[in-house]
Chain A
Amino acid sequence: DGGITQSPKYLFRKEGQNVTLSCEQNLNHDAMYWYRQDPGQGLRLIYYSQIVNDFQKGDIAEGYSVSREKKESFPLTVTSAQKNPTAFYLCASTPRGGGSYEQYFGPGTRLTVT
């Protein structure tokens, strides 16, 4: 079953703790993306990676970190420095990093920090 998976579906953390969200794809896609979805604000890009071992900051990277050690995986760490971490997080991938391709989305992880 091909596709892009995110785990867990729901995540709860205490303030001050770092938390890592998983994103895996078996589509053999080069590029992967992390978005944050908040009501009334659409999707905002956190980080993206056009190729393995490389990644760039998106529009709202502060308080987040990523790694891209394997083509299939692009985990996102929400650090304690992120001021408002409670949100719905979406991961996506595309076949190539340049040009304009359809982005394939995962089911999302809802993070609640109290």
Chain B
Amino acid sequence: AQRVTQPEKLLSVFKGAPVELKCNYSYSGSPELFWYVQYSRQRLQLLLRHISRESIKGFTADLNKGETSFHLKKPFAQEEDSAMYYCAPGDSGNTGKLIFGQGTTLQVKP
């Protein structure tokens, strides 16, 4: 079965510290990989996707096929980064479905 694991429910860091939100998946094939973010009182929205290789709001995510991981990183956290983050690989069955992880709440303290 396709599974996504985000091992940390809560990650708390101080402003300016590096951040890494972990994501591991158990899949066959090469799924498209996404990170979604939900800021307080806002809709869930796309943060970045692997295929575009963009850096959004200073965040990057590296795919490690050997470890089947897609960790989200930012070198210097800002208070406005505080939010819930979801890792979401695409379904390998070409249905357009996403398989969401449990989510990690990032808390950036001043």
- The interface of chain A, by Cβ under 8 A from chain B, is 31, 33, 35, 40-45, 48, 50, 56, 58, 90, 92, 94, 96-103, 105-108
User: Smallest distance from the beta carbon of B51 to chain A beta carbons, Å?
Assistant: 8
Of B53-61, B64-72, B95-103, which binds chain A? B95-103
B74: interface (CB < 8 Å): no
User: Smallest distance from the beta carbon of A36 to chain B beta carbons, Å?
Assistant: 11
Q: Which of chain B's residues has its CB closest to A103's CB? A: B98
User: Smallest distance from the beta carbon of B88 to chain A beta carbons, Å?
Assistant: 8
Q: Is the CB of A43 within 8 A of B86?
A: yes
Residues on the B chain within 8 Å of A96, using CB: 96
Q: Which of chain A's residues has its CB closest to B45's CB? A: A105
Q: Is the CB of B32 within 8 A of A100?
A: yes
Q: Is the CB of A48 within 8 A of B97?
A: yes
Residues on the B chain within 8 Å of A106, using CB: 43
- The interface of chain B, by Cβ under 8 A from chain A, is 6, 9, 31-32, 34, 36, 43-46, 49, 51, 86, 90, 94-98, 100-103
Q: Which of chain B's residues has its CB closest to A105's CB? A: B44
User: Smallest distance from the beta carbon of B27 to chain A beta carbons, Å?
Assistant: 12
Q: Is the CB of B46 within 8 A of A102?
A: yes
Query: Which of B34, B46, B51, B103 sits near A42, CB closer than 8 Å?
Result: B103
Distance between Cα atoms of A35 and B102 in the complex (Å): 13
Q: Is the CB of B95 within 8 A of A97?
A: yes
Q: Which of chain B's residues has its CB closest to A97's CB? A: B96
Q: Is the CB of A41 within 8 A of B96?
A: no
User: Smallest distance from the beta carbon of B76 to chain A beta carbons, Å?
Assistant: 26
Q: Kindly list 5 other residue pairs between chains A and B, CB separation below 8 angstroms, not including A94-B96, A108-B43.
A: A41-B102, A43-B86, A48-B96, A103-B46, A103-B98
User: Smallest distance from the beta carbon of B84 to chain A beta carbons, Å?
Assistant: 9
